[in-house]
Amino acid sequence: KAGVTQTPRYLIKTRGQQVTLSCSPISGHRSVSWYQQTPGQGLQFLFEYFSETQRNKGNFPGRFSGRQFSNSRSEMNVSTLELGDSALYLCASSFGGTVSTGELFFGEGSRLTVL
Amino acid sequence: GQQVMQIPQYQHVQEGEDFTTYCNSSTTLSNIQWYKQRPGGHPVFLIQLVKSGEVKKQKRLTFQFGEAKKNSSLHITATQTTDVGTYFCAANSGNTPLVFGKGTRLSVIA
């Protein structure tokens, strides 16, 4: 079966702009979680959506938001971009979500560079 | 919030040497998972441990979950160049989301 698909794979933005990233989970998976990965901080949890509801949120400012659609596809948005937002944004799909047992399936990520 | 501490941050070994990475938490964990991320790649699930004192093996990899369910380790016997990458532990407790350690980057010198 198809894996987790993230688009776009690479993008360059300038400070102050906003960006929207998309994630299509594995068919049948209802949970999508988002992580920010930077060299110094590892994977930091942004938020998780399960059946269109935000179930958990990490410690990120309100500029970071997300949503999930009825087909389980998810988008995350970052407004008013800052240089420090440059990172690899990873989406992970799972059946039961991160609060339950069960592996996460990661997409290839969207690499955002903010100039 | 819950934190998972992982050490060491980096490990350089000669091919054939053993390698171990450790994960520690101050709180009791419900389950712990291990992932591997190859350079330029994305994290890939290796294993999940849920029982106190659990030990699981995958070929040259041995995973352990502590008796108190507060720590875990991943041990690789006789490393190979294919083992290169960053190894992450990830854990949750109760209804908290999965939290990742900062990872251990393994370099293997042939």
Inter-chain contact A101–B103, Cβ cutoff 8 Å?
no
Structure confidence at residue B7 (pLDDT): 97
Which candidate in B31, B98, B104, B105 is best for mutational testing of the A interface (most A CBs within 10 A)? B98
**Residue A114 in tokens:** 């903010």
Structure confidence at residue A101 (pLDDT): 64
Structure confidence at residue B29 (pLDDT): 94
pLDDT over 80 (residue B95): no
Which candidate in A48, A98, A108 is best for mutational testing of the B interface (most B CBs within 10 A)? A98
Distance from CA of B71 to the nearest CA of A (A): 17
Structure confidence at residue B1 (pLDDT): 64
Query: Of A13 and B93, which is predicted with more confidence?
Result: A13
Structure confidence at residue A98 (pLDDT): 62
Structure confidence at residue A99 (pLDDT): 61
Query: Of B18 and A97, which is predicted with more confidence?
Result: B18
Place of tokens 């988008």: A75
Structure confidence at residue A66 (pLDDT): 97
Mean per-residue pLDDT for B39-61?
A: 96
Residues of chain A with pLDDT under 50: none
Distance from CA of A46 to the nearest CA of B (A): 10
Task: Give chain B positions within 8 Å (CB) of A90.
Answer: 42-43
pLDDT over 70 (residue B33): yes
- Is residue B82 exposed (0-12), middle (13-18) or buried (19+ Cβ within 10 Å)? exposed
Cα separation, A72 vs B73, whole angstroms: 34
Inter-chain contact B88–A43, Cβ cutoff 8 Å?
yes
- DSSP-derived secondary structure letter, B3: -
Summarised one tens digit per residue, pLDDT across range B58-80 is: 999 999 999 999 999 999 999 99
